[in-house]
Amino acid sequence: MSGKNPGMDLMTLSALAEPNRMHIVELLRDGPLTVGEIAERLGLRQPQASKHLKVLSDNGILEVKAEANRRIYKLRPEPFQALDSWVKSFRRIMEDRFDNLEDYLRELQNKEQSKDSLK
Amino acid sequence: MSGKNPGMDLMTLSALAEPNRMHIVELLRDGPLTVGEIAERLGLRQPQASKHLKVLSDNGILEVKAEANRRIYKLRPEPFQALDSWVKSFRRIMEDRFDNLEDYLRELQNKEQSKDSLK
DNA sequence: TTTAAATATTCCTTTACAGGAATATTCCTT
DNA sequence: AAGGAATATTCCTGTAAAGGAATATTTAAA
pLDDT, residue B114, reads 45
Beta carbon of B36 within 7 Å of strand C?
A: no
Say yes or no for a CB contact (<8 Å) between B18 and A10.
yes
Beta carbon of B10 within 7 Å of strand C?
A: no
Residue type present at position A22: M
List, for chain B, all residue ranges whose pLDDT scores fall below the cut of 70: 1-6, 97-119
Q: How many angstroms separate the CA of residue B59 from the nearest CA in chain A?
A: 13
Q: Residue B103 belongs to what domain range? A: 91-119
Global pTM? 0.83
Shared domain for B22 and B73, answered yes or no, is yes
A83 domain residue, yes or no? yes
User: Rounded to an integer, what distance in angstroms lies between the CA atom of residue B21 and that of residue B13?
Assistant: 11
**B30 touches A at CB < 8 Å:** no
pLDDT digit string, tens, across residues B57-78:
999 999 999 999 999 999 999 9
Of B75, B96, B99, the CB nearest to A93: B75
A4 domain residue, yes or no? no
Say yes or no for a CB contact (<8 Å) between B77 and A88.
no
Query: Average pLDDT of A72-93?
Result: 97
- Protein residue closest via CA to C1' of C22: B47
Domain count, chain B: 2
pLDDT, residue B111, reads 45
Whether residue A37 has pLDDT greater than 70: yes
B27 domain residue, yes or no? yes
Element (H, E) at A11: helix A10-16
Non-local (6+) Cβ contacts of A96 within 8 A are B77
pLDDT, residue A102, reads 54
B2 domain residue, yes or no? no
User: Rounded to an integer, what distance in angstroms lies between the CA atom of residue B19 and that of residue A22?
Assistant: 20
Within 10 angstroms of residue B67's Cβ, the number of other Cβ atoms is 10
Shared domain for B76 and B118, answered yes or no, is no
Shared domain for A26 and A70, answered yes or no, is yes
Shared domain for B73 and B119, answered yes or no, is no
Shared domain for B18 and B63, answered yes or no, is yes
Put the strands of the sheet holding A62-67 in their side by side order.
Answer: A33-34, A70-75, A62-67
pLDDT, residue B45, reads 97
Shared domain for A57 and A112, answered yes or no, is no
Residue A60's CATH number: 1.10.10.10
Shared domain for A28 and A83, answered yes or no, is yes
Q: When comparing pLDDT for B56 and A97, which is higher?
A: B56
A67 domain residue, yes or no? yes
